Amino acid sequence: MIVIVGVGALGSHLVQFIRNEKVDIKVIDFDRVEQKNVMSQFHGKPGVGKNKVAALQQTMDFLFKRQLAVVSNKLVAENIDALMKGATLVVDCLDNGASRKLVQDYVRKHGLPCLHGALAPGGEFGRSIWDAQFVIDSEVGAGAATCEDGEFLPFIALTAAYMARSIQLFLKDGKKIGFSISPVGAVAI
């Protein structure tokens, strides 16, 4: 079972890109869909106000008849054992360093494969990177605002697509291939 933590910008697109994989998918996110999310995430207007995992579950069922297991709790140290139960691959699409650290510590402790997705402000760089190579960037640099409109939707979806490709390759033969992604191309890492 693939456990995707965070179904916002990256995670929501990722789910629909891996929908054809013959593996169960669980999504974890406590946040709700806001109007602004519709501009850049794979959440539609009918989902506004709903929990993101519930909205995504309905969308995936409606469009593709693809079922998801959903958890609308916030992932914390106290529940991570229960929420990760059955995971054979963990995918981190989180939006904060503390939760990323929680996931990283967990997968390393339990020897679970983990793919991380990350974006730079300004839509200039993205990463699909396996845990062994992943370092959480703790500081941020100056840059342009990123969520005022849907300007970066294509790049968000592009990064999610590369994450889906990393997952596809892993599920096929166990290869852990990541990508550094810029708007003009990607480099395998």
Partner 1 sequence: MNDIKDTEARVNVTFSGANGDLPDPVMFQATDGDIRAWVTEAVRTGGVPGIPAAPNADFSDFVIDRFTATEARPWNLLAVRPKTPFGFATCDHCTECFLKRVGRSCCGCGSKR
Residues in contact with partner 1 by CB under 8 A are 6, 8-10, 31, 36, 40, 93-97, 100, 118-127, 133, 135, 137-143, 145-148, 152, 156, 175, 177, 180, 182-185, 187-189
User: Measured from the CB atom, is 24 or 180 closer to partner 1?
Assistant: 180
Rank residues 9 and 107 by Cβ distance to partner 1 and give the closer one: 9
Shortest Cβ distance from residue 62 to partner 1 (Å)? 25
Minimum Å gap between C-beta 95 and partner 1 is 3
Task: Report, in Å, the least distance between residue 180 CB and partner 1.
Answer: 5
| Residue 183: HSE in the Cβ half-sphere, 13 Å Cα cutoff | 10
Q: CB-wise, 71 or 93, nearer to partner 1?
A: 93
- 82, 91 contact by CB (below 8 A): no
Token pair for 42: 């794979």
Judged by beta carbon, residue 68 or residue 123, the one nearer partner 1 is 123
Which of residues 21 and 124 has its CB atom nearest to partner 1 in the complex?
124
CA distances from 54 to 46, 69, 106 (A): 11, 9, 25
Sheet holding 25-28, edge to edge: 69-71, 25-28, 2-5, 89-92, 114-119, 126-130, 179-182, 185-188
The secondary element (H helix, E strand) that includes residue 89 is strand 89-92
Is 26 in contact with 1 (CB distance < 8 Å)? yes
Nearest approach, Cβ of residue 126 and partner 1 (Å): 7
From the CB of 121, what's the least distance to partner 1, in Å? 5
